[in-house]
């Protein structure tokens, strides 16, 4: 059972990490903007003093560009603050932090343009047109570095909201597992309050203490050093009791979160709308036709064509290497199941011996830790050729699938293209993965590849199907490059 925090630990746990982290971001943002703005000023004007001159109604004024740089930096810092780019709700995961930085920068740029037009101020165009885009890029890069650091801290339980769950045992256990899996989100579950359970029982393999009395929630929070209450289900809480619970929390230091029974829903599909005091959550139904499908096809054609052009020398080298090193065809062709359950021929560089398929049944009976109940994977597969092992390690055997993308049977990003024998083992809900084209890469590949369980593979594929977007595809392609370089789960 998880250890209950003593008084000294509680004092340490209640230190406001949000303010500490925000202060560090303020300092970093300031250093970035000073470096960028003054750097651009020196680049454009040199080290000599430069003045901006403009005519007023009676006199001609001259303002030093140093003063203008200081003003722009101050205004930029102010905009980053008022747009909430350092708010703890957007830190650590998701695109909101970057989006708020971009919004603040674009609006400041627009404000400068409006002021220069209204007052006929002739700013040096190069100074303005370089400083703002460069500042935005370096700001986002610095936040990305901070995000990596924050994620590492959260793996150790630091810089996270300490959460106590309130609700039924089933919903609390489910949410505790999900929050534990996504530690980078910054929610560390330290306890649960489940009406009906007697004494300090526990859930999740005796890791989380459980308290039985909602009326003594404040006392339970103090025992485990919690600063956030997450209501996982309200079956045992009337609306009036839930309001009283929110009133009992200390403003600014203790927080209330209500978690609906929705899972694997992407942010862009969720909209809240308060009606008659009720926070209604609107969830858009996934759409797979019209402009969205056209945009994805255009993205595949442009991206796939560009990648083929850039990678063509590597394709030629790999072709020659396979031809010279092992007997058999260079390309391996295999029937897979694609969009709407249609069969297509998927291309790969051959990485196994020519009779690999006939040896498969023999290998299925061997004990192995890789793969799962549906997909066959083996870390040291004896069918893999020496050159094939190298190709698989860096996913180079997948490159011919770019021709599938150009031909329209696959997409750059999507669910894994399954074999027909795998489809025969699917449960009904798994067939939703056929609503979109299979992809060369996908969430399954960037989240563990062959190390994933079948349940996790299905969950990630269905999450992609329900929530895909062009922005999400770009993020997955970026994470794919990182996953390939790490070589984890590649066999």
Q: Which two tokens stand for residue 213?
A: 């009395």
pLDDT digits (tens, 9 = 90+) for 280-338: 777 766 666 777 888 899 999 999 999 999 999 999 999 999 988 888 889 989 899 99
The reported pLDDT for the residue numbered 343 is 93
Interval 181-204 mean pLDDT = 74
Evaluate the CA torsion angle 308, 312, 314, 316 in order and state its sign.
positive
Evaluate the CA torsion angle 89, 91, 94, 98 in order and state its sign.
positive
**pLDDT reading at 237 higher than 70:** yes
The pLDDT mean for the chain works out to 81
The reported pLDDT for the residue numbered 11 is 45
**pLDDT reading at 1 higher than 50:** no
C-alpha distances out from residue 113 to 28, 70, 145, 241, Å: 26, 17, 31, 52
> What does DSSP say about strands 202-203 and 270-275: parallel, antiparallel, or unpaired?
unpaired
Q: How many CB atoms lie within 10 A of CB 166?
A: 29
Interval 174-191 mean pLDDT = 85
**pLDDT reading at 451 higher than 70:** no
Q: Which residues belong to CATH 3.40.50.720 in the chain?
A: 160-261
Provide the whole-model pTM. 0.67
353 against 404, higher pLDDT: 404
pLDDT digits (tens, 9 = 90+) for 452-489: 677 778 888 888 888 888 888 888 898 888 777 765 55
Burial (0-12, 13-18, 19+ Cβ within 10 Å), 307: middle
**pLDDT reading at 192 higher than 60:** yes
The reported pLDDT for the residue numbered 454 is 74
Three-class secondary structure of residue 307 per DSSP: helix
DSSP per-residue string spanning 115-144: HHHHTT----HHHHHHHHHHHHHHHHHHHH
CATH of 160-261, one of 3.30.70.120, 2.40.33.20, 3.40.50.720, 2.60.120.920: 3.40.50.720
User: pLDDT band at residue 55, thresholds of 50, 70 and 90?
Assistant: low
Q: How many CB atoms lie within 10 A of CB 299?
A: 16
CB-based contacts of 185, cutoff 8 Å, min separation 6: 92, 93, 154, 179
**pLDDT reading at 19 higher than 90:** no
142 against 115, higher pLDDT: 142
Interval 388-417 mean pLDDT = 90
Interval 395-399 mean pLDDT = 89
Round to whole Å and give the CA distance between 465 and 459: 10
Please answer whether residues 284 and 271 qualify as being in contact, where contact means their C-beta atoms are separated by less than 8 angstroms. Answer: yes
Q: Which two tokens stand for residue 336?
A: 């897979």
The reported pLDDT for the residue numbered 7 is 42
């Amino acid at each position: 059972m998880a250890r209950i925090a003593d008084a000294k630990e509680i004092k340490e746990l209640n230190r406001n990490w949000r303010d500490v982290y925000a202060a560090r971001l303020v300092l970093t943002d300031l250093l970035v903007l000073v470096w960028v703005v003054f750097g651009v000023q020196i680049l454009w004007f040199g080290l000599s003093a430069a003045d901006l001159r403009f005519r007023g109604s009676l006199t001609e004024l001259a303002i030093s560009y140093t003063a203008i740089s200081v003003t722009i930096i101050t205004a930029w810092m102010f905009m980053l603050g008022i747009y909430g780019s350092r708010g703890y709700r957007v830190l650590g995961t998701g695109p909101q932090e970057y989006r708020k930085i971009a919004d603040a920068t674009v609006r400041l740029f627009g404000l400068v343009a409006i002021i220069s037009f209204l007052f006929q101020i002739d700013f040096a165009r190069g100074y303005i047109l370089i400083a703002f885009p460069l500042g935005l890029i370096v700001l986002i890069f610095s936040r990305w570095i901070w995000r990596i650091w924050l994620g590492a801290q959260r793996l150790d339980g630091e810089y996270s909201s300490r959460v106590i769950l309130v609700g039924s045992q089933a919903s609390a256990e489910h949410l505790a597992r999900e929050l534990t899996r996504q530690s980078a989100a910054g929610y560390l579950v330290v306890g649960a309050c489940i009406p009906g359970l007697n004494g300090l029982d526990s859930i999740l393999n005796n890791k989380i203490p459980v308290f039985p009395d909602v009326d003594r929630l404040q006392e339970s929070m103090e025992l485990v050093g919690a600063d956030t209450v997450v209501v996982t289900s309200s079956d045992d809480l009337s609306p009036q009791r839930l309001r009283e619970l929110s009133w009992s929390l200390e403003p600014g230091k203790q927080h209330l979160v209500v978690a609906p029974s929705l899972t694997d829903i992407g942010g862009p599909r969720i909209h809240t709308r308060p009606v008659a005091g009720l926070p209604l959550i609107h969830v858009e139904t996934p759409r797979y036709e019209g402009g969205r499908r056209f945009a994805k096809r255009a993205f595949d054609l442009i991206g796939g064509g560009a990648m083929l052009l850039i990678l063509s020398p590597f394709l030629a080298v790999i072709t020659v290497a396979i031809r010279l090193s092992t007997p058999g065809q260079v390309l391996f062709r295999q029937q897979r199941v694609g969009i709407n359950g249609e069969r297509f021929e998927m291309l790969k560089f051959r990485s196994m011996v020519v009779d690999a398929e006939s040896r498969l049944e023999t290998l299925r009976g061997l004990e192995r830790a890789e793969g799962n109940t549906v997909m066959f994977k083996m870390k040291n597969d004896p069918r893999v050729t020496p050159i094939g092992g190298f190709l698989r390690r860096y996913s180079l055997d997948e490159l011919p699938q770019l021709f599938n993308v150009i031909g329209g049977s696959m997409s750059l990003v999507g669910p894994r293209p399954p074999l027909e024998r795998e489809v025969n083992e699917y449960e009904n809900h798994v067939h939703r993965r056929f609503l979109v084209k299979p992809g060369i890469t996908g969430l399954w590949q960037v989240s563990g590849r062959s190390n994933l369980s079948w349940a996790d593979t299905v969950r990630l594929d269905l999450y992609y199907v329900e929530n895909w977007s062009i922005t999400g595809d770009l993020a997955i392609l970026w994470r794919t490059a990182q996953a390939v370089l790490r070589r984890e789960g590649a066999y």
